[in-house]
Structure 1
Amino acid sequence: MAGIGGGDEARSGAVTTRFNDRVRVTRPWRQELRPYVHCYDGYRVAAATSYRVRLVPRGRAVVVINLGEPFAQVFRLSEADPGVRVVGSLVAGLEDGPRVCDHPGGQEAIRLELTPLGAYRLFGVPMRELTNTVTELRDVLGPEADELVERMSATPDWARRFDLLDAALLTRLDGGPDPSPEVAHAWRLLTRSAGTIPVARIATEVGWSHGHLVRRFTQQVGLTPKMSARVLRFHRSVELLSREGTDLGDLAATCGFYDQAHLNREFRALAGVTPLGMAAARRVEGAHEL
């Protein structure tokens, strides 16, 4: 398993943090990537101990480039019989419910979070095809995905890995489809309001009928405007819930829920857990140990 570099990473702006048996490496991503990428980081878990985490909707697409042991299985919590499926490097589209990831331990990977329209441009496919799915990276990006993973695995230097990733992302983004300006504006309205703006007002602002907005938005984002609003409200509430002493009634009002009962129902639907259960969970690389 590759180690963590030192001097080269420091010179490149990469920052390494260690917590128990987990090592995480981050660096600011390039300016050209900022409209499309929320964040990326590398991490390594030295312990060969299996673990399970739960992913909850965040309004983002995710790419995991596995450089060590792959996931044992990744499945929707609602699936009655997920079976056992080894998943290597993967793409996860936007979700409207919780997903469980099992790993045998000894993980080493780079994880990216993409804006929906960044993912649309990067993947070059209608995002609705990836909604609520996990797909092998090569099935979306083609054979060059395997070549990229091999090159990244062959170097122990995380800064060089990030350089390879940046080059691959920029090449794909340069040749990808442009989201329509109306969908891009609709997504900005939703994110800036954290999902509290009515869909009818969005349709009026972009100059489209409700039906046309839903069709075009779902094609390029992956979720309908209404479901996207639910996910964004939920995501904001999860972020605020991490603050010590948060009152659930105040949280519900702040995030646009009718009342605390509505907040509880949305947590059950989107995360499969209560707000208090979510607050008690430890966060691990964009997921929750529940």
Structure 2
Amino acid sequence: MARDALATAAHGMAFGTPAAPLRPYVLGYRGYRLALHVPRRRLEVPTDVVTLALTFEGTMRLTDAVEPGPGVALASVAAGLRRTATIAEHAGVLHGLAVSLTPHGAYRAFGPLAGELGGQWAEAGDVLGPRLRTLSARLADAPTWPARFALLDAYFDARLADGPRWEPSVHWVWHQLRRSHGLVPIHALVEGTGWSRRRLELCFRRHLGLAPKQAATILRLQRTLRVLTHQAATGPDGGRLAGERIDGARIASLCGYYDQSHLDRTFRTMVGCSPREFLSSRGSATARPEPTDRIAGRVTSAVLAPGG
């Protein structure tokens, strides 16, 4: 059964750890109940995580941070792997919970629908079926966060027990990409599977919703974000690698970019701002009623000023 780790009751945040057999597939549960006097805007960067957000009260408006459009208002959200950041907004009142799944976990729980979510947001109940709508109603009626997390454990235990598994070659490719932080050459993946490049891309898209090269850019970005945020947190003398200060050129080389200019351009095309602007937004997020990052061990977000 999931154990509830309540952050602070005043802030209405709770975190649940999935039951042990689920942890290779379900990364965590996060409950929230916010009643703010101002709207909240978050910049959600690309990650290697599939997110399911079930809302009991309030709605979210999601907009692409790189190519802003009118956006879409959703009560509950299923979000696949995306190569560009999202601006998520709500009016200040939001009650619900979020589930973070590995791509393989999403495929086992929801089958090919997980691949079809690649690059998209969707109303969760519409794409994942009536069983999810029933679960959402039961979660809303549950009296405590531990009870909700236990319901989620039971739901995913049942879904994963009979769910489809990735093809072994897809699993191997994803492992190589994650192990190398997206730096393994695509031709090495083609050779390792024995497939044609076209077959590899089609099969990978079917399982994850993105081509291997696109997934690699997300993993490189995540490594870049971890290095940058660590350096920002440790200050001018704390961010060192092998005894040397990690300057912009070294970070670029470490994370698989040609040079610092390449890193900056790629960052902007994926996040919608410069690395400096992103770090500045995170640095101004003190004393806010929710954590900056949604998932332990990953850099996921920056809390934005209203209207900013």
Query: Partner residue of 2:106?
Result: 119
Give SS of 1:256's match: coil
Q: Is the 8 A contact 1:123 1:140 kept in 2?
A: no
User: Is 1:278 aligned with 2:265?
Assistant: no
Query: Partner residue of 2:12?
Result: 23
State the 1:78 CA deviation. 4.6
Per-residue displacement from partner, 1:206-256 (whole Å, max 9, x unpaired)?
Answer: 222222111111110111111111110001111221113453222212211
Give SS of 1:242's match: helix
Which of 58, 71, 74 aligns to 2:62? It is 74
Unaligned stretches of 5+ in structure 1? 1-10
Give SS of 1:96's match: coil
Which of 281, 301, 307 aligns to 1:287? It is 301
Counterpart Cα distance in 2 of 1:87 and 1:224: 27
Provide the TM-score with structure 1 as the length reference: 0.89
Letter in 2 for 1:287: S
Counterpart Cα distance in 2 of 1:62 and 1:200: 30
User: Is 1:256 aligned with 2:256?
Assistant: yes
Letter in 1 for 2:64: R
Letter in 2 for 1:289: V
User: Is 1:13 aligned with 2:3?
Assistant: yes
State the 1:80 CA deviation. 5.2
Counterpart Cα distance in 2 of 1:63 and 1:240: 27
State the 1:269 CA deviation. 0.9
User: Is 1:40 aligned with 2:54?
Assistant: no
Q: Which runs of 4+ in 1 moved over 4 A?
A: none
User: Is 1:218 aligned with 2:232?
Assistant: no
Cα 1:12–1:186 shift into 2, 3 Å: closer
Give SS of 1:194's match: coil
Query: Partner residue of 1:208?
Result: 195
Give SS of 2:57's match: coil
**1:88-237 pair list within 5 angstroms:** 88-237=75-224
State the 1:284 CA deviation. 4.8
Q: Is the 8 A contact 1:116 1:222 kept in 2?
A: no
Per-residue displacement from partner, 1:46-74 (whole Å, max 9, x unpaired)?
Answer: 32421111211112211111122121x11
Which of 31, 38, 60 aligns to 1:49? It is 38
Counterpart Cα distance in 2 of 1:22 and 1:252: 38
Q: Is the 8 A contact 2:249 2:260 kept in 1?
A: yes
Counterpart Cα distance in 2 of 1:34 and 1:248: 35
Q: Is the 8 A contact 1:127 1:218 kept in 2?
A: no
State the 1:128 CA deviation. 4.1
Counterpart Cα distance in 2 of 1:56 and 1:164: 29
- What is the RMSD of the two structures over their aligned residues, measured on CA atoms? 2.0
Counterpart Cα distance in 2 of 1:191 and 1:121: 19
Cα 1:108–1:175 shift into 2, 3 Å: same
Q: Is the 8 A contact 2:25 2:105 kept in 1?
A: yes
Query: Partner residue of 2:288?
Result: none
Provide the TM-score with structure 2 as the length reference: 0.84
Q: Is the 8 A contact 2:107 2:166 kept in 1?
A: yes
Counterpart Cα distance in 2 of 1:276 and 1:80: 20
Give SS of 2:52's match: strand
Counterpart Cα distance in 1 of 2:293 and 2:91: 15
Counterpart Cα distance in 2 of 1:12 and 1:254: 37
Query: Partner residue of 2:297?
Result: none
State the 1:118 CA deviation. 1.4
State the 1:274 CA deviation. 0.6
Letter in 2 for 1:268: R
Letter in 2 for 1:90: V
Cα 1:260–1:90 shift into 2, 3 Å: same
Give SS of 1:278's match: helix
Counterpart Cα distance in 2 of 1:273 and 1:130: 25
Give SS of 2:73's match: coil
Unaligned stretches of 5+ in structure 2? 240-246, 283-291, 295-299
Counterpart Cα distance in 2 of 1:43 and 1:239: 25
State the 1:12 CA deviation. 6.4
